[in-house]
Structures are given as C-alpha cells and as structure tokens.
Amino acid sequence: MIVLLALLSGVALAEDPTIEIPYEKYELENGLDVILAPDTSTPIVYVNLWYHVGSKDETEGLTGFAHLFEHLMFNGSKHAPGEYFTPLSEVGGTVNGSTNTDRTNYYEQVPAEYLPRALFLESDRMGWLLDVLDEGKLDNQRDVVRNERRQRYEITPYGEAYKDLVAATYPKGHPYHHSTIGSHEDLQNASVEDVKAFFRTWYGPQNASLVIAGDFDTEATKKLVEEQFGGIPRGADTTQLEQTKTVVEPQEIRQYQKVPEQKFWIAYTSPAFYEAGDAELDILCSVLSTGKDSRLYKKLVMEDQVATQIRIGQSSSKLESMLIISGTAAAGHTTDEVIAAADAVIADALGENPPTQEEVDAAKAQFEVGFYNGIRTIGDRGDLLQRYNYFTGDPGYIDDDLARYLPITPEAAVAAGKEVLAGERVVLHIWPEGDKPEEEAN
C-alpha cells in the first residue's frame, strides 16, 4: 500500500506515513477562497470551482434552480458569448459540471498554457452571466432540464425510486425533501427575475472556492486570479444551514410499474458526512455487502438464492446522511422475502455474530485501495481538496480522513450500526404491473 502511495505523483508521503497533497489556501478581498496545488508531473492544469449551493438551499415553489444554473452557466456570459465549451474544447480541454444537494461544481482540465483562458471564462460567468441572461435563454434551458427529467427519471425503469425514497424519508420542508432536478411546475413557473435573484444570492465570490491544480507558476497564477476574480463584487453573506437529525416517519410504499423485476429500497437516516459514526457505518456496510464473501451476498444470493443483487451503503451529505439497503428479488421470490432475509443477516451481525477482526480488516483494506485509487490524477486531487475544504473547512484533511477508518474496531462498527438500524425506516417496493396482488388490483 505504501509503495502504491509513493508512486502517486503530487502526493507527498512522510515516514509516519502520512498523506499530503501540497497546497496553499488564501482568500481574496471579495471572499473567494483560492486553493493552489502545484504539480509539475504533467503539463496540464485542472480548474475546479465550487459554489456552496445545492438543492438544499432552494425554497418551496422555486426548486431545481441550482441544477438549472448548471445548464445556464454554459450558455455564455457578457464578455464570452456563445457556448462555454467551444473555447476550451478547441485546445484539447475537457469541461463539465455537476450539482447535488449540497454544492455545485464546475471544472475544466486544459493544457497548462491555457490556464488564463480557463480562468477568464470562469470569472466572466461568475461576474457577468446575468448581463446576458434573458427570457430566451431561460426558456431554452428550462426545456432542456425538463426533458432531462423525463428521460432520466420518468421514462426510465425505476428512475424515480431514489427521488420517492428521499421524499418519504425527509419530511416536507426539510432541505433534502425535494429532488435536485426540481419539479416541472417550479421550472415552468420560474421567471427571469426569480432565477436572477437566486444567482445573486448564491453565486458570488464570497460563496465559492476555486482550486487550481497542476503545472503552473504559483506567483504568476496568484496575479492571474486577482486580475480575473478580484474585481467581482462581494455579495451578501448567506445563512448556512445547520446539521439536522430527522425522525423518520415509518412507511412501506408499494408501486407497480412497467419494470422487469421486483426491487426494493430501505432508507434510514445516519450521521452527516465526516461526523462521528460515518466511517464506522462505511466499514459495517462493507462487511455486509462488498464482494461475494460479504454476509448479505453470500447468504441471500449464493446460498438461499432469494436475491440476484443486494447492497447496503451510505449516501453521505452535509446536513445528514441516508443509509440505504437495496436489492432485487430472484425469479420466484418477492422483495418481502428478500427484506426478511436481509433483516435476519443484519440482526445476526449486530447481535450474536458480530463482524470478526478479519472481516473489519478486509473492509478497511478495501477502503484504502479505493482511497488511493481516488487520488491518482490531478483532477481527483483537486476535487478532493474542494470536498475537504467545503465539508471540513480544511483542504488538508486527507490524512485525517484516512485516519477515521484505520482504528475502527468490530465493536465500534456494531455500535454505529445499532444506533442507526434501530431507528424507523422507509421501505419502497417496485414490482412489475403483472405481479400486483389481485386484492390490490380491484
């Protein structure tokens, strides 16, 4: 493992051993966090800009705006009209963005000499996007988003399962209750002024962090960042939402759709990302369902053959997280049978037959391999600096992150599991229409 880590360019390994991604963090006068991570191993530069806004920051009746801006931000700004992709793709760059409940991410990777171009484009849409945002652009992109919603969620088998599970787990009014993509009604009713007001609130430099990783001169890049971003006015500070701990209203939801197999999802609420219990639950979930030797897979898929797929894992987020169990019933069996069998395996693991030290050590080793694989590229490391900065306030949290996992004992994993899995839960079944019981069909 240490040999693998030492081969990772741009990641320093001390004799402890500790992991370090060399970086420098500072703040512009307008509040923009800047994180520079030089790495001369490859003549490329990765620019990663996070706006600290996601669907959790939207208000009722005005949902889907963070994701909508993921589209609008690529449609040109005052000094860079036209599609955002063209000036970077024509020099061999790659460009994309993503939105989730907690943040919005825009990033590009370009040959090192084109860093000024990438920074110019990012700064122009931060400071001057609204100058060219009009009804025509809004209509065009809201139609794109609504079509994406239809394709990804509404006409795809099981496409709305996660959305429905989340909405049932988090009550109405909770920041995570609604989906990131928003509703058709909210998107259609949004006015240009509604959308501009959302941007003014959340997309200023005081609510953003910029990571530049790769082959660049530090002092020259600082000057470039100041030239491009320093003149953008600071916006008003926003209220950051505090962590929550939802008391789940227990529900069992049954849906019958045009799908090929019976599937289910079970949701519990769990600790927020990086909080106590988060890592312990990751290890417990790995023991239970990672690999063919894991307890759930071995019992339900290989031995009893009541399921063709079974998984337990966390969806970790800033305010609180969800622990989700999901599975597919084998032919001739039902999701009810699979859930009963899964519950028995989990109860056994939290009771008379807790994880062994060998199982926990194997889970930790799997995590280490995944961890190191996740910091191989300059882009991976740049995004990790952003994640740590946003969720912990410390871009250099990488060594502390790994240290959360390595000391975990079987007893600690079981204790975390008992804390969460003893709580109420939401169960969602989705069956083929033909499997609908006769009494429900009438």
Which residues are identified as catalytic? 70
How would DSSP label each residue in 215-267?
Answer: S--HHHHHHHHHHHHTTSPP-PPPPPPPP-------EEEEEEES-SS-EEEEE
- Measured CA to CA, the distance from residue 414 to residue 421 in angstroms comes to 10
Q: For 286-289, which contacts have Cβ atoms below 8 Å and span 24 or more sequence positions?
A: 286/363, 286/366, 286/367, 287/349, 287/355, 287/359, 287/360, 287/362, 287/363, 287/413, 288/312, 288/345, 288/346, 288/349, 289/313
Residue 422: which residues within 8 A CB-CB, separation 6 or more? none
* Helix (H), strand (E) counts: the chain: 17, 13
Residue 423: which residues within 8 A CB-CB, separation 6 or more? 248, 268, 269
- Measured CA to CA, the distance from residue 219 to residue 312 in angstroms comes to 47
Q: How many residues does the chain have?
A: 442
Residue 94: which residues within 8 A CB-CB, separation 6 or more? 88, 108, 109
- Measured CA to CA, the distance from residue 396 to residue 401 in angstroms comes to 9
What sign has the CA pseudo-torsion 315, 316, 319, 325? positive
CA 15 to centroid of chain Cα atoms? 33
Integer-rounded Cα Rg, in Å, for the chain is: 24
